[in-house]
């Protein structure tokens, strides 16, 4: 859970606050775990919800995400950040399970094994969906002239 929090913040105090809130939710809602899917996935979802709640509460003014990428990937400095809703809109264009796998792996921090168990697919199929999602997102970014085609 700590590694998932580290993806979103480097501040150790924030990480501990988020994890504590997340495990408090786990202990309060332990009776609602139905045994469907993995316990780790269920805990991860609750901790991720705490993470989302924390940043929603603490950073109401935060309207965009900044990607730390090599300068060669982006065409200009003005395109270094995409607005959060723009990214979500691009992800929403992904088809069915490809979208779900991308969200669970890239955003929520699930493993391919957990995704496979939850969706009833193999780990390899989960990896394939992630690869397809990345390709489709790159193509969508290229169409909008945001992604440099020289990058693989």
Domain co-membership, 47 together with 9 = yes
Task: Enumerate residues 6+ apart whose C-beta is below 8 A from 87.
Answer: 65
Contact 44, 87 (CB under 8 A): no
**Cβ 15 vs Cβ 55: under 8 Å:** no
- Mark whether 139 and 86 lie in a shared domain: yes
For the residues 115-133, what does the mean pLDDT come to?
91
> Who wins on pLDDT, 3 or 63?
3
Report yes or no on 71 lying in a domain: no
pLDDT for 125: 92
**What is the reported pLDDT for 29?**
87
Task: Please check whether residue 58 lies inside any domain of the structure.
Answer: yes
Q: Are residues 4 and 52 in the same domain?
A: yes
Domain with 114 in it: what CATH number? 1.10.10.10
The answer to whether residue 22 sits within a structural domain is yes
Long-range contacts of 117-123 (CB under 8 A, 24+ apart): 117/37, 117/38, 117/41, 118/37, 118/38, 118/41, 121/97
Task: Check whether residue 49 and residue 100 sit in a common domain.
Answer: no
Between 5-9, 16-20, 57-61, 90-94, the lowest mean confidence (pLDDT) is in 57-61
Average model confidence (pLDDT) for the chain?
76
Minimum mean pLDDT range among 1-5, 26-30, 87-91, 142-146: 142-146
Separation of alpha carbons 135 and 83, rounded Å: 20
> 81 and 56 in one domain?
no
Residue 76 DSSP label: S
Any domain includes 68: no
Position 21 in a domain: yes
Residue 132 lies in a domain: yes
Provide the number of structural domains found in the chain.
2
Domain that residue 104 falls in: 76-152
* Whether residues 82 and 53 fall in one domain: no
Quick one: 52 and 7 in the same domain?
yes
Looking at the structure, do residues 86 and 152 belong to the same domain, yes or no? yes
Same domain for 80 and 56: no
112/85: higher pLDDT = 112
In a domain? residue 70: no
Q: What is the pLDDT of residue 84?
A: 61
């Amino acid at each position: 859970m700590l590694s998932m929090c580290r993806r979103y913040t480097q501040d150790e105090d924030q990480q501990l606050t988020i994890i504590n809130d997340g495990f408090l939710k786990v202990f309060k809602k332990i009776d609602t775990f139905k045994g469907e899917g993995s316990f780790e996935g269920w805990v991860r979802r609750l901790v991720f919800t705490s993470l989302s709640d924390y940043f929603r509460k603490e950073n109401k003014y935060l309207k965009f995400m900044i990607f730390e990428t090599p300068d060669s990937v982006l065409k200009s400095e003005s395109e270094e950040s995409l607005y959060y809703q723009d990214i979500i809109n691009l992800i929403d264009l992904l088809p069915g399970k490809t979208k779900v796998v991308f969200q669970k792996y890239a955003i929520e921090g699930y493993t391919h094994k957990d995704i496979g168990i939850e969706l009833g697919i193999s780990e390899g199929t989960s990896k394939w969906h992630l690869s397809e999602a990345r390709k489709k997102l790159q193509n969508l970014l290229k169409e909008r002239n945001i992604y440099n085609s020289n990058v693989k």
